[in-house]
Amino acid sequence: MDHSEKKIAKIVEELTIYFFAVGADKIESGISKEGEQVTIYFKSNYQEEYRNKLNNLEKYFNEPKNEGIEDFYWELAGSGDPGESSQIMLLGMMIDNAEVSITDADVTIYLHKKVS
CATH number at residue 84: 3.30.565
Taking the model in full, what pTM does it have?
0.85
Domains in the chain, number? 1
**Of residues 5, 87, 69, the one with CA closest to residue 40:** 5
Contact 53, 83 (CB under 8 A): yes
pLDDT tens track for 11-40: 999 999 999 999 999 999 999 999 999 999
Alpha helices in 29-111, H assignment, sequence order: 51-54, 57-61, 67-76, 85-92
**What whole-number distance in Å separates Cα of residue 67 and Cα of residue 62?**
14
Pick the range with the lowest mean pLDDT from 8-12, 47-51, 68-72, 87-91. 68-72
